[in-house]
Amino acid sequence: MKKTVFRTIMLLLALGIMMTVPAFCAQSSDPDFDEGLSLYYQKKWSESASKFDQVSTKDPLNVMALSFYLAAAYRGNNMLAAVNNVEQRALDNGSSAEIKAQLGIAYFARGKLDPNMLDESLNQLKEALKENPDLSNANTGMGMIYFYKRLIPRAKGYFIKAIKANDKDLMAMELLGNILMIDEQKPDAALEFFNKVIQQAPNYADGYFMAGSALQRMGKKQDAIERFQKCMELDPLGTMTGYDAPCRIGDIYLEDKNFSDAEKFYKKALAINPENPYAQTQLKKAQNKGKNWEGEKVDPIKEKLKLEDDK
């Protein structure tokens, strides 16, 4: 659970979603959002931030685009400028409820660098909800804060409210799915939301990773492998969950004693990061046919009896 929470925080805070979908069928998403994703996965932080800024400016309810904007800005050492940009947007738009909510989310991101900003984040989001209690991005922002604080029932309530108001809220759907899968142990229910994310954002690698995680928990191993492979295809440098996907595939193959394929995918993980300790350990297990890579423990009594029998 800690790894999942950390991955989500990296995305949301800039410190760093039906049962199955046949053949990844998907409707078209915003081309600017798709281009931003492509640039982000290439680690082109400045260009990616610019593209996501465009998307979140034209669509203030798109919390996912705003979160990627802040994440790309952070990775490009430009977080404060990005938050200032959202503040200026609020001034230019007369602090509408939608923009107040955006500012609250931006302050939440900055709050990971300056904890004093977290109170200001809550204030902005609450002000937005006073003006419009059903405002989706404000409800999602509140859910993000409580998700980060691990106050899960409160977070869940806000995400449900956000989705009721805006059934295209990718962030609310992904995090609600995360709660259902991790905290409530309901991967089948979670998969419904993850697949909706895939349908609306077919180039978002994490949607496939989360769907693969749910399928893996459901015992649908081949379907899970296909989703993890799609995640790797979209995020080959391991910028986000493309980092973890090859190990997930390797683990499935290792569990099934398919040691050669397991070895292949652990090596893919190490190609992304040669220092990945988990991939290193699992690779040794695969190479030793599932045995403990530090060597099998020897029972001296059994060994002595065996020697006696051999005489």
pLDDT along the chain (311 residues), means of 10: 42 35 43 96 97 95 97 94 92 85 94 85 95 97 95 98 97 98 98 97 97 98 98 97 97 96 97 96 91 50 47 43
- Domain boundaries, position 97: 2-218
Give which of 74, 76, 28, 82 is closest to 53, Cα–Cα: 82
Q: 88: domain CATH number?
A: 1.25.40.10
SS3 122: helix
Same-domain pairing of 194 and 250: no
Same-domain pairing of 160 and 255: no
Of the residues 203, 218, 233, which one is the last residue of a structural domain? 218
pLDDT digits (tens, 9 = 90+) for 188-226: 999 999 999 999 999 999 999 999 999 999 999 999 999
Same-domain pairing of 35 and 103: yes
Residue 228 is assigned to a structural domain of this protein:
no
**Distance between CA atoms of 245 and 170, rounded to whole angstroms?**
21
Residue 297 confidence (pLDDT): 45
Number of domains in the chain: 2
Residue 224 is assigned to a structural domain of this protein:
no
Same-domain pairing of 125 and 206: yes
Residue 168 is assigned to a structural domain of this protein:
yes
Give which of 69, 73, 44, 45 is closest to 58, Cα–Cα: 69
Residue 227 is assigned to a structural domain of this protein:
no
Same-domain pairing of 250 and 212: no
Same-domain pairing of 35 and 87: yes
Of the residues 183, 218, 253, which one is the last residue of a structural domain? 218
Judge residue 277's burial from the number of C-beta atoms within 10 Å of its C-beta, 0-12 exposed, 13-18 middle, 19 or more buried: exposed
Q: 263: domain CATH number?
A: 1.25.40
Residue 109 is assigned to a structural domain of this protein:
yes
Side-chain-facing half-sphere of 182: CA atoms under 13 Å: 20
Residue 20 is assigned to a structural domain of this protein:
yes
CA distances from 41 to 32, 45, 49, 138, 260 (A): 14, 9, 12, 27, 28
pLDDT digits (tens, 9 = 90+) for 255-295: 999 999 999 999 999 999 999 999 999 999 999 986 664 54
**Residue count (the chain):** 311
Same-domain pairing of 153 and 297: no
Same-domain pairing of 53 and 188: yes
Same-domain pairing of 128 and 205: yes
Same-domain pairing of 26 and 170: yes
Same-domain pairing of 302 and 211: no
**Distance between CA atoms of 61 and 82, rounded to whole angstroms?**
17
Residue 274 is assigned to a structural domain of this protein:
yes
**Distance between CA atoms of 246 and 275, rounded to whole angstroms?**
15
Residue 212 is assigned to a structural domain of this protein:
yes
Same-domain pairing of 205 and 306: no
Of the residues 162, 183, 218, which one is the last residue of a structural domain? 218
Residue 307 confidence (pLDDT): 44
Residue 89 confidence (pLDDT): 86
**8 Å CB contact between 169 and 144:** no
